[in-house]
Amino acid sequence: MLSNAFINACVSLLGEKNVLTKEAELIPYSYDATPGIPREIPGAVVFPETTEQVQGIVKLCREYKVPIYPRGAGTCLSGGPVPLSKGVVISFQRMNKILEIDTDNLTATVQPGVVVATLNAEVAKYGLIYPPDPGSMSVATIGGTVAENAGGLRGLKYGVTKHYVMGMEVVLPTGEVFRFGGKTVKNVTAYDFTGLFVGSEGTLGIITEVILKLIPAPKYRKSMIAFFDTLEDAGQTVTDIIRAHVIPATLEIMDNMTIRTVENFAKVGLPTDAAALLLIEVDGNGKDGVEEEAKKVVEVIQKNRGKYKVAETDQERDNLWAARRAALPALAQVKPATVLEDATVPRTKIVDMLRAIQEIAKKYNLTIGTFGHAGDGNLHPTILVDPMDKDEMARLDKAIDEIFDAALKLGGTLSGEHGIGVAKKKYLKNELGSSGIEVMKRLKKALDPDNILNPGKLVPMED
Amino acid sequence: MGKSIFENDEVLKRELIRCMKCGNCMAVCPVYGAEVKESAVARGKIALGEAYLEGKIRDKDLMNLIYNCLVCKSCMLACPTGVKYDKIILALRHKLAKDLGKPWIKKLAFWSLTHPSLFDKGLKAFSKMQGFFLEKRGPKLRAPRAFLRTLGKRFDESFVLPEFASKSFRDITPEVIEVPNPQSTALFFTGCSINYLYPEIGGDILLVLKKNEIKTLIPKEQNCCGMPVMVHGDIEKAKELAKKNLDLFERINPEYIITGCASCGSALKHEYPLIFEVDQEYETKAKKWAEKVYDITSFLLKVIKLKKPKAELKLKVTYHDPCHLKKAMKVWVEPREILKAIPGVELVEMKKPDACCGSGGSYHLAYADTSLKILQSKMEDVKNTRAEVVATECPACMMQLGEGTQRYKVNAKVKHVISLLAEAYRRES
């Protein structure tokens, strides 16, 4: 329990409306979108609106030795914002102003609570985009996506969050405010601090302002869908598209299990006997360039024995995308709960990874539908389970262990875009080794000597 | 026979675990938009429901938060896994009402709803003495007198509501309205708002049906649809009302049932089959009649062929989608088509026509601050269209929007879509 003195100090700092302490108000801050991880109901939730207030909270937490759990929209898929003790959750959802859109330097300066989709709607007025587009973008905040280094569908061509962060203001766990980076394209002053804080999952500093890079919105696009009789043909198509030097904005794959479920659910006219489908979109600012890339993609599909459809109108494009959009909703109808993983491999190993997942599904008698971003090797095996079935949940744990093993053996990584948090901490050593864990611990101790900021996440202090 | 979600915690639990806590509902929830805290949104309420079933919490705060929802169903459209939130919220409120009870004033109101003749007498008595509580603020407009302001925040100086009619719509209307060569026969389910507060809309609907050669039945003994008690978790009373209405439909056996109130329509079409789940006899009846329920605009366009009005109505109109019409009955094209069918009407869309107005039945009284915040942004959207009329198809929305035009000084009249059509027909002759 948090002391009355601490709560009163928070109230005088932020006002009564910005401090939640009733049990019923706190329960909805005890989770994110990650299933089956340890969690605790926090002792309080606070809503700062300025950097000074964040600094004030950190100082109070140091004084009263209260753990801090920073939180955006709580859409994280690895447990990043989930409290593990009766500490204080700092919600950034009310610190959500777009401070500036600089259409000459092509930057946006924002507070951490700005929603990704809101920012995109604002910059669209100037013909610009902020490309990182995680599935949760309609609610996810910039602060959260920066802290988790979120990816998205356009990652292959446009990169991920880390490629768009130019500078930041953070409040350190020791209470100081630290600003670095800025609006310059080039900046090699001191360490690359953006690299340090992007993806630090709220363990090294609290993000209070971010300067983001914007790019002109592509004017033309062309979408197509292709079906293959074998996984190998689909995998070869992915490789050959890149070999032909076409980098599509979207290059999504869906396995047979997912195709059948989607068709059964949404009746969008997918061939249920196809081993895999690819959804491909090329875009750019020149019409001819886009047409030419689309032509090259079609040639590659034909060479690899794929059947395909090219969208000629926006309506047709929407129809093609309906299949991808229906993937998760459709899979979720099969069983009460869905566990979404994001093991990632080099794109040349996608077929091996898909095969490995299918074997694991068979071995543990689980239903796994896999879809994901084939172009960047980031797959989303979606395991369908019934949480009330104890035996199935035990098999699920084993299957997840093996999925990560398989990804690492293929030269991949534990997480492409969801993060480590608490969900994957136990696998960290397998990828980084003892020396890697040691580096993480030293970094954490150097910046957060009292282990007050998001303790228990990302860094395996106990190892 | 299995157990329904209202009788069995395990069934409720099975619905709750379908929520993956992705949080997509935050993008569309009007209450979250106004309050910006997790307890406001569907996933938060589902988490609270889980904690409640696990016995971790059971207090007045929980009750306040579970009732802090407009049941507008916006979240259901944004949900990637199809969580049946409408069912969940009813079941949670049902369980809470049983566990913790309801305030006595609501108990009295609900009891009277299931005793229609008393309810009817009570409201008529009230209409005669409404001047004691409510002062006149304009034609057919009333505002609470100063002593009522202590009742709650919503009863401030700016609060206005429609006058209670001294004679209800069903009192002044024959039970059968014949036309020479009827295209079809339909039962007009008036609902309480049209019956007691907006009888003129009832009249407009009759005029439109007559013009389109529909034989209309308006049985006096129809009951409240049950939505008000249902959303407060009183499923037993809702079933009582629903049974009476379904039995009435069985007896009269009309070809179609028409509603002019989005909430009544939603109750008849969606909630009846839901509350009677696993009650074989009434589930079958509910499903059978649900098929025959149409809101008045879809009826005119989908079931019969609308007689296009010839007279002109030179008006700039914007349309507000009632949540229960768009999100429950899935009707949003037809009301617009009706408006466009009126010569001279220029339809201008507001920024977010399907954003909730914040009424939510009695929500606007219990959660005044949030309701007004939601209403204010709605009224800004209306204002920006510079429309002369904001049309809609739900009396509850009309009450809220009507108040909004006064409170936020928006120069637009609030009208039922059908009243505009009726006006155009009237001008023909």
pLDDT value of residue B9: 95
Chain A to chain B, count of Cβ pairs less than 8 Å apart? Answer: 94
Q: What pLDDT is recorded for position B348? A: 98
In a domain, A123, yes or no: yes
Number of H-type helices and E-type strands within chain B: 22, 12
A-facing residues of B in 58-87 (CB < 8 A) are: 59, 61-62, 64-65, 78, 80-82
Tokens of B3: 């157990």
What the block records as the tokens of A300 is 């590659």
For residues A58 and A75, membership in a common domain is answered with yes
Q: How far is B84 from chain A (nearest CA, A)?
A: 12
Numbered ranges of CATH 3.40.50 in chain B? 309-428
Task: Give yes or no for residue B107 having a pLDDT over 70.
Answer: no
Interhelix angle B104-113/B235-252, nearest 10 degrees: 10
pLDDT at position B105 is 58
Closest C-alpha among A61, A21, A12 to residue A42: A21
Q: Are residues A319 and A273 in the same domain?
A: yes
Asked if the structure places residue A354 within a domain, the reply is: yes
DSSP B3-45: --TTT-HHHHHHHHTT-----GGGGT-HHHHHH-SGGGSHHHH
Give the structural domain span for A128: 98-216
User: Under an 8 Å CB criterion, which residues of A touch B?
Assistant: 20, 22-25, 27-33, 35, 45, 47, 73-75, 91, 93-94, 115, 117, 136, 138-139, 328-329, 332-333, 336-338, 387-388
Nearest chain B CA: its distance from A16 CA (Å): 14
CB contact under 8 A, B78 and A138: yes
Look at residues A64, A91, A118 and tell me which one is the last residue of a structural domain: A91
Instruction: Say whether pLDDT at B104 is over 60.
Output: no
Compare CB distances from A23 to B17, B61, B78 and report the shortest one's residue.
Answer: B61
| Nearest-5° Cα angle at A253, A250 to A254 | 140
Which range among A290-294, A335-339, A382-386, A428-432 shows the weakest confidence by mean pLDDT? A335-339
Identify from B26, B59, B351 which residue to disrupt to test chain A contact, counting A C-beta atoms within 10 A and taking the largest count.
B26
Residues A372 and A296 in one domain: no
As a whole number, the mean pLDDT across chain A is 95
Residues A256 and A342 in one domain: no
- How many CB atoms sit inside 10 A of residue A195's CB? 12
A436: helix, strand or coil: helix
Residue ranges of B 277-316 with Cβ closer than 8 A to chain A: none
Interface predicted TM-score (ipTM): 0.95
The long-range contacts involving B117-126, CB below 8 angstroms and separated by at least 24 positions, are B119/B224, B120/B168, B123/B164, B123/B168, B123/B196, B124/B166, B124/B167, B124/B168, B126/B164
Domain CATH code at residue A181: 3.30.465.10
Nearest to B57 among A20, A24, A333 (CB): A24
Domain B9-100: give its CATH superfamily. Alpha-helical ferredoxin (1.10.1060.10)
Task: Indicate the length of chain B as a whole number.
Answer: 429
Are A280 and A373 members of one domain?
no
Q: Does residue A114 sit within a domain?
A: yes
CA A328 → CA A217, A281, A380, distances in Å? Answer: 28, 20, 10
- Chain B residues with CB under 8 Å of A82 CB are none
For the stretch B66-99, pLDDT in tens is 999 999 999 999 998 889 999 999 999 999 988 8
**For position B123, what pLDDT does the model report?**
76
Is A24 inside any structural domain?
Answer: yes
Give ∠ CA A454-A456-A462 in degrees, rounded to 5: 140
Mutate to test the interface with A, among B31, B32, B37, B52 (most CBs of A within 10 A): B37
Cα–Cα distance, A57 to A13 (Å, whole number):
8
| pLDDT at residue A437, rounded to an integer | 96
Q: Tell me how many degrees the CA angle A91-A93-A96 measures, rounded to the nearest 5.
A: 130
Tell me: the pLDDT tens digits for A122-142? 999 999 999 999 989 999 999
B256 torsion bin: left (phi>0), alpha (psi -120 to 50), beta (else) = beta
Q: Where among A51, A66, A91 does a domain terminate?
A: A91
Q: Which part of chain B is CATH 1.10.1060.10? A: 9-100
Residue A26 is part of a domain; what is its CATH number?
3.30.43.10
Chain A: give the shortest CA distance to residue B191, in Å.
36
Considering the domain architecture, whether residues A270 and A372 belong to the same structural domain is answered as: no
Q: Is A127 exposed, middle or buried (0-12, 13-18, 19+ CB in 10 A)?
A: exposed
Minimum distance, in Å, between the CA of residue B56 and any CA atom of chain A: 10
When pLDDT is averaged across residues B209-222 and rounded to a whole number, the result is 96
B14, B26, B82 ranked by CB distance to A139: nearest: B26
Q: How many domains does chain A have?
A: 4
What is the average pLDDT across B280-295?
Answer: 97
Contact A24 B81 (CB under 8 A): no
Residues A376 and A400 in one domain: yes
Is A206 domain-assigned? yes
- Which pLDDT tens digit goes with each residue over B219-272? 999 999 999 999 988 999 999 999 999 999 999 999 999 999 999 999 999 999
Question: At A397, is the pLDDT very low, low, confident or very high (cuts 50, 70, 90)?
Answer: very high
Average pLDDT of chain B? 92
Better-predicted residue by pLDDT, B25 or B161: B25
> B158 pLDDT exceeds 80?
no
Q: How is residue B258 written in tokens?
A: 């028409």
Q: Is B87 helix (H, G, I), strand (E, B) or coil?
A: helix
Q: Do B65 and A30 touch (CB under 8 A)?
A: no
Q: Which of B17, B38, B65 sits opposite A29 (nearest CB)?
A: B38
For helices A231-243 and A287-303, what crossing angle results, to 10°? 140
Residue A444 lies in a domain: no
Q: Tell how strand A250-255 and strand A367-373 pair up.
A: antiparallel
Do residues A223 and A211 both lie within one domain? no
Exposure string over B87-96, b if 16+ CB within 10 A, otherwise e = bbbbbbbbbb
Contacts of B38 in chain A (CB under 8 A): 28-29, 74, 91
**Do residue A311 and residue A399 come from a single domain?**
no
| A333 contacts on B by Cβ (under 8 Å) | 81-82
Choose the final residue of a domain: A159, A183, A216: A216
Q: In this structure, are residues A323 and A277 in contact, taking their beta carbons and an 8 Å threshold? A: yes
Closest CA to B347 of B316, B308, B390, B386: B316
Instruction: Look at A75-89, A423-437, B147-161 and tell me which has the smallest mean pLDDT.
Output: B147-161
pLDDT over 80 (residue A160): yes
B51 interfaces chain A, CB cutoff of 8 Å: yes
Dist CA A170 CA A193 (whole Å): 11
Q: Which residues contact B411 (CB under 8 A, 6 or more apart)?
A: B383, B388, B405
Residue B265 confidence (pLDDT): 97
CATH fold of B309-428: Rossmann fold (3.40.50)
Q: With an 8 Å Cβ cutoff, are B48 and A24 in contact? A: yes
Predicted confidence at residue A70, as pLDDT, reads 98
pLDDT at B134: 81
* Confidence category of residue A337, pLDDT binned at 50, 70, 90: confident
3-state helix, strand, coil in chain B (%, to 5): 55, 10, 35
Chain B residues with CB under 8 Å of A74 CB are 21, 23, 38
**Rounded distance between C-alpha atoms, residue A159 and residue A178, angstroms:** 26
Which one-letter DSSP state was computed for residue A338?
E
Name which of A64-78, A94-108, A287-301, B100-114 the model is least confident about. Answer: B100-114
Query: How far is B155 from B428, CA to CA, in rounded Å?
Result: 42
**Would you say residue B161 has pLDDT above 90?**
no
